Structure 1
Amino acid sequence: MNTHLQHQINQWLNNDPDPKTRSQLQILIDTNNEAELTTRFSGRLAFGTAGLRGEVGVGPMAMNRLVIRQTTAGLGAYLLDQIDNAAERGVVIGYDGRHDSLSFAHDAASVLTAMGITVRLTHKVAATPLVAFGVKHFKAAAGIVVTASHNPPQYNGYKVYWENGAQIIPPHDSGIAAQIARAATQANPFLDLDDAISQQKLTWLQDDFYQTYRQGVFDAKELQQRSGQDNVSLAYTAMHGVGADMAEAVLKDAGFTQVYSVMVQREPDGDFPTVNFPNPEEKGAMDLVIAEAKKHNATLACANDPDADRFAVAVRTEDGQYKMLTGDQVGVLFGHYLLSHAPKNQRLTGTTIVSSSLLSKIATEFGTQSYTTLTGFKWLMNVGIAKNQADNQFLFAYEEALGYTIGNLVWDKDGLSALVAFAQLTAELTSQGQTIWDRLEQIYRQHGFHLNAQVSIALKADTPNIGAYLREHPPLKIGEYPVVSTDDLKSLQRTAADGSKQSIDLPSSDVLIYALEGGARVIVRPSGTEPKIKCYYEVVETMMPTDTWASAQERAQQAMTTFIESHQASLPS
């Protein structure tokens, strides 16, 4: 073993506070597993705009108590440097139900309080939206949530909110990362939680805090639809996460009494025993909640992901089966519903470049414009906050990966308020003798049947750089659709078919967007880390008076299949 690696390992053993990971490391040393040791000490788990996320394990490339302490020391130093009164304003900390989340959250609190920073720490597990709410509510300098959201059981994560209540964006990510690198070479400050309490540096967020969020949902002006609740029944699952208590409470407050929780998935369980993958988008993850809905012939089968910031729904069909709505369909339904009720001075809506273009058409129908950002709620919310004006207040934003923000209770996606809003939207339609499917069809008849698909394409190791290739060989046609314009988000230029150019107001990103005749669209995102690209496709089919939903969908599906095949055939292999 080389001396540099030996030195790193010895340093780690001297500083790691966790007997479990110390003994795991000792086993690797005793068995002389140099390959594994080299991998585990090959770098550091990167801190980015999503904070940290990785598998729990030994060494700086994994999530563990020492990495959490070093990360928190770096974050604390950055806050003290960047934010006035950061120590007094403090940090809100919450955590999910994964196995190590409580100890990670408590370690973070001990480090920050030792640095003189006040901490408000949830006294039990909390849904991610509650921490985002807490940052805003207490006007804190920052927030931390220990969560790996819907990742597999072996993962954990560390998500940071800035003082504005939204997730961090550049330059804060790299600024924090630089401070973490510095903190990793030093002894980390640490204060026992009992001492932090006696020094008045730590406050436990007790049940009254949870009730304040609950009251916020009840009072939200966007969630005041208060009739027809008796016509809506719903099955609900927390997917072994932390959402159940609050989800049931806010639904009850809103007058929904026919709520049937999937009991085997109701309590937090870091093993996620009944699902292969605790993500409502994954095949099979919704099976138990759909079975519960069938048992009661419920209108809706609803789910939150394990940290309850995302919302998924399957809706009963005419034949008594249940069909999942896509994130885009839920987003479009919300956009239409909220805009139809919103006051004139609250019309600000937004979505991301890879989500359906249909929201922008609905916004235009209501006499306003929606904004578009790069992928991720960090962008949706920071732009939303910047654009939020007295005469054009924020109303709604969504991304296709099941994330929705309704109103300004939190500046992040919130699966709990979305659950209430969707139940209210369903109740309103039911009282008008309509279903969710009827409303979607009306929207499609007006604006076209929008179908979206996402495909990841694995490339051969020797495939030329796909982004560079496409920039050097710009397509004039994709399938049967001529290219109307190309947006290159790297150079931030839009090039029209006639060669004219205009600039794009977004942060630079390695993304190409092709707008095609007939409303179709292709977005290509080369992966920065592996030989693959992600492609996002949208086709729009005009619905004829003779069309049914089924015939329009079939035509769109055929167009999509041909479209994807012809696009992929045009890429270098």
Structure 2
Amino acid sequence: MTRDIKDLAKEWLELDEDKSTTDEIYKLLVDGDTSELEKRLRHRIAFGTAGLRGPMQGGFACMNSLTVIQASQGLAAYLLKTEKNVERRGVVIGRDARHNSEKFAKLTAAAFVAKGIKVWWYEDPSHTPMVPFGVRELDAAAGIMITASHNPAKDNGYKVYWSNGCQIIPPHDVGIAESIMENLKPVTWDTTVIESSLLVEGSLDLVQDKYHQAVLCAAQPEHVKVKMDPELRFVYTPMHGVGLPAMQRCAETLDVASQMAVVEAQAQPDPDFPTVKFPNPEEKGALDLAIETAEKSSIRLILASDPDADRLAAAEKVGDKWHIFSGNQLGALLGSYLFERYPASKPREKLAMLASTVSSRMLAALAKKEGFKFTETLTGFKWLGNVARQLDSEGYDVVYAFEEALGYMIPQTVHDKDSISAAAVFLTAASHWSTQGLTPYAKLQQLYQYLGYFEDANTYLVSPSPSVTTSVFTAIRALGSPHPTSICSRKIARWRDLTLGYDSKSKDHKPDLPVDVTSQMITCELDDGAVFTVRGSGTEPKIKLYIECQGKSSEEAKTGATEILEDLLREWFKPEENGLRLA
């Protein structure tokens, strides 16, 4: 039986002790705003493989003190049930500089202390990769990072790392979600435990030095003799986030601190992100201030982190225009450098790199040509990190993984994306290329000539509802039996449906990647070498389209990708007919 919304509001008011959010729900109740109460209270914020993320408001559907306590109590109970020596090993808790991040982190710590579990507490805001690094370094049972990454200022999130230093994957996400439902009544709201409890140990100093040693080892291992280019000047922006202290330390470690200029207006953490529309370096215009700073000092290279500094963007002035590297281009550049510097004394077939299924096939093409192992995973670093660790256990030497959304993993540092270790490798690579008379952009052109040109036409459609998304994908599947065999004049050489669990190319028609009936995802390889993936987003009302074409020139590849996008919109997605809005 569906509960009355007023009963849900009363339950909220009984459980919540944070005045800011009790006042919100109380006012909505008094005003009789049932539609807003329904939005905020009817459905609980879902705990998924990325943990929690959403707007900061009162209500079970949002990020707030109560839902953070409930998540922490559920996670603590689940850890005690599934891991060994949890109380002694403890959990690492970090936070970014968003609104309420410190409060949420302290409430998280209080919930673990109440269960008798040690807390490794990061005293200051820090970049996200410090948490998975700390989990491994301190042999903790888990790590929690309070962050919403590059989301808008109104959002926050709760990201969970398992004891292996990777983001959680099934079945832990489901297990934790069930455990949260069994631990809804707050045990404590007392955040003074941070100062008073012997179970809480300030630990940022315990791991920071070791993290930067690991970054240096990742960028310049013993067998690599790269003299940093004294002419290599660059602009860095942390985009109002927490990346600057780590990036400054990284530049000092590499001995290029005097060559780094900082975008002053974006240097210090500001949870309102006043100078950017969206605090995401992928967004149009996000690098405008960095370009302005670079122009003033005649600097031709830019690096940028997102606010929690796990994603990296790069741009280079080519002639009189700025080229902003796509996530795929930067991914191929870093991968090619890590391959080139791999010791000749080690067996090449044991070298391994990874990319997610929505990322460029350029790294796969390099692997095929050069004889090292390339593995494709589902989207997200939860998969890239965990699969990398699995490959390590099978005797492979995994040196790199990337995803097109500006995520780069250097496993010697962390098994997650990390803008700081990626920046360290990029700056070392740029110094190496400069000895060959090449800039990063020129190196990219050299790679295109060697492997062929790869261009994409990635975009997304905004869907009115999950049911519309499902019906659109159902209609697409019905265009053929057992699946469509062409898109306009191009033939589909391979059809892989990870929703239904069908792969036309495998012997038993079972896919090589995990199947998830709750999410829509189809990948098609075409007879001309092009590939595209279409999927429903798990966190937003979007249908995402990732299209990549190969060609003998950039123009040929770009034209092909654009044609496939037009064909998909016309034949499959029919935006006007289905009420979908193109980005």
Distance across 1 between alignment mates of 2:54 and 2:290: 28
Match of 2:381 in 1: 377
Q: Deviations over 1:501-546 (max 9, x none)?
A: 543221103322111122111212245788863221111002xxxx
SS at match of 2:457: strand
Match of 1:82 in 2: 82
Distance across 1 between alignment mates of 2:5 and 2:532: 46
Match of 2:202 in 1: 204
User: 2:457–2:562: 8 Å Cα contact kept in structure 1?
Assistant: no
Match of 1:467 in 2: 473
TM-score, normalised with respect to structure 2: 0.91
Give, in angstroms, the shift of residue 556 of structure 1: 2.1
Distance across 2 between alignment mates of 1:64 and 1:187: 13
Distance across 2 between alignment mates of 1:572 and 1:392: 41
Q: Structure 1 residues 506 and 64, CA, compared in 2 at 3 Å: closer, same or farther?
A: same
Q: Structure 1 residues 530 and 324, CA, compared in 2 at 3 Å: closer, same or farther?
A: closer
Distance across 2 between alignment mates of 1:529 and 1:50: 9
Q: Which amino acid aligns with 1:14?
A: E
Match of 1:220 in 2: 218
Q: Which amino acid aligns with 1:557?
A: K
Distance across 2 between alignment mates of 1:407 and 1:289: 29
Match of 1:519 among 498, 522, 529: 529
Distance across 2 between alignment mates of 1:221 and 1:249: 14
Distance across 2 between alignment mates of 1:353 and 1:49: 17
* Equivalent pairs, count: 558
Distance across 2 between alignment mates of 1:305 and 1:464: 32
Match of 1:286 in 2: 287
- State whether structure 2 residue 561 is matched by structure 1 residue 560: yes
Match of 1:400 in 2: 404
Distance across 2 between alignment mates of 1:144 and 1:459: 32
Distance across 1 between alignment mates of 2:107 and 2:464: 43
More deviation, 30-39/349-358: 30-39
Match of 2:161 in 1: 161
Give, in angstroms, the shift of residue 9 of structure 1: 2.1
Q: Deviations over 1:225-257 (max 9, x none)?
A: 531321211000000000001101101210213
Give, in angstroms, the shift of residue 199 of structure 1: 4.4
- State whether structure 2 residue 285 is matched by structure 1 residue 303: no
Match of 1:549 in 2: none
Q: Which amino acid aligns with 1:524?
A: V
Q: Deviations over 1:392-436 (max 9, x none)?
A: 221000000000011322111000011111111111111211121
User: 2:229–2:434: 8 Å Cα contact kept in structure 1?
Assistant: no
Q: Which amino acid aligns with 2:261?
A: Y
User: 1:193–1:202: 8 Å Cα contact kept in structure 2?
Assistant: no
Q: Deviations over 1:72-98 (max 9, x none)?
A: 000000000000111111100000010
Match of 2:577 in 1: none
Q: Structure 1 residues 560 and 506, CA, compared in 2 at 3 Å: closer, same or farther?
A: closer
Give, in angstroms, the shift of residue 464 of structure 1: 7.9
Q: Which amino acid aligns with 1:519?
A: G
Give, in angstroms, the shift of residue 285 of structure 1: 0.6
Q: Deviations over 1:466-485 (max 9, x none)?
A: 33233332332223322212
Distance across 1 between alignment mates of 2:3 and 2:178: 25
Match of 2:578 in 1: none
Q: Which amino acid aligns with 1:514?
A: C
Q: Structure 1 residues 148 and 444, CA, compared in 2 at 3 Å: closer, same or farther?
A: same
Distance across 1 between alignment mates of 2:141 and 2:334: 31
- State whether structure 2 residue 490 is matched by structure 1 residue 478: no
SS at match of 1:538: strand
Match of 1:337 in 2: 337
Match of 1:106 in 2: 106
Distance across 1 between alignment mates of 2:290 and 2:402: 23
Structure 1, unmatched stretches of 5+, are: 543-551
Q: Deviations over 1:98-155 (max 9, x none)?
A: 0100000000001101100100111110100111100110110000000000000000
TM-score, normalised with respect to structure 1: 0.93
Structure 2, unmatched stretches of 5+, are: 575-583
Match of 1:541 among 542, 551, 561: 551
Give, in angstroms, the shift of residue 190 of structure 1: 5.0
Give, in angstroms, the shift of residue 222 of structure 1: 5.0
SS at match of 1:236: strand
Give, in angstroms, the shift of residue 266 of structure 1: 0.7
Match of 2:514 in 1: 507
Distance across 2 between alignment mates of 1:529 and 1:220: 32
Q: Deviations over 1:257-284 (max 9, x none)?
A: 3100001101111000000100000011
Q: Structure 1 residues 235 and 458, CA, compared in 2 at 3 Å: closer, same or farther?
A: closer
Distance across 1 between alignment mates of 2:191 and 2:315: 46
Match of 2:66 in 1: 66
Match of 1:316 in 2: 317
Distance across 2 between alignment mates of 1:500 and 1:88: 48
User: 1:112–1:118: 8 Å Cα contact kept in structure 2?
Assistant: yes
Q: Which amino acid aligns with 1:457?
A: L
SS at match of 2:295: helix
Distance across 1 between alignment mates of 2:285 and 2:410: 28
- State whether structure 2 residue 453 is matched by structure 1 residue 449: yes
SS at match of 1:128: coil
Distance across 1 between alignment mates of 2:186 and 2:524: 51
Distance across 2 between alignment mates of 1:240 and 1:9: 36
SS at match of 1:533: strand
SS at match of 1:229: coil
Q: Deviations over 1:286-341 (max 9, x none)?
A: 11111111122223111000000000001121x23321000000110111100111
Distance across 2 between alignment mates of 1:286 and 1:422: 18
Q: Which amino acid aligns with 1:493?
A: Y
Q: Deviations over 1:369-398 (max 9, x none)?
A: 210001000000101101114742210000
Distance across 2 between alignment mates of 1:398 and 1:442: 20
- State whether structure 2 residue 432 is matched by structure 1 residue 428: yes
User: 2:228–2:254: 8 Å Cα contact kept in structure 1?
Assistant: no
Match of 1:547 in 2: none
SS at match of 1:240: coil
Q: Structure 1 residues 507 and 251, CA, compared in 2 at 3 Å: closer, same or farther?
A: same
SS at match of 1:231: coil
Q: Which amino acid aligns with 1:193?
A: T
Q: Which amino acid aligns with 1:291?
A: E
Distance across 1 between alignment mates of 2:33 and 2:5: 12
Q: Which amino acid aligns with 1:570?
A: E
Q: Which amino acid aligns with 1:534?
A: K
SS at match of 2:504: strand
Q: Structure 1 residues 286 and 572, CA, compared in 2 at 3 Å: closer, same or farther?
A: closer
Q: Which amino acid aligns with 2:50?
A: A
Q: Structure 1 residues 491 and 233, CA, compared in 2 at 3 Å: closer, same or farther?
A: same
Report the identity percentage.
Answer: 37
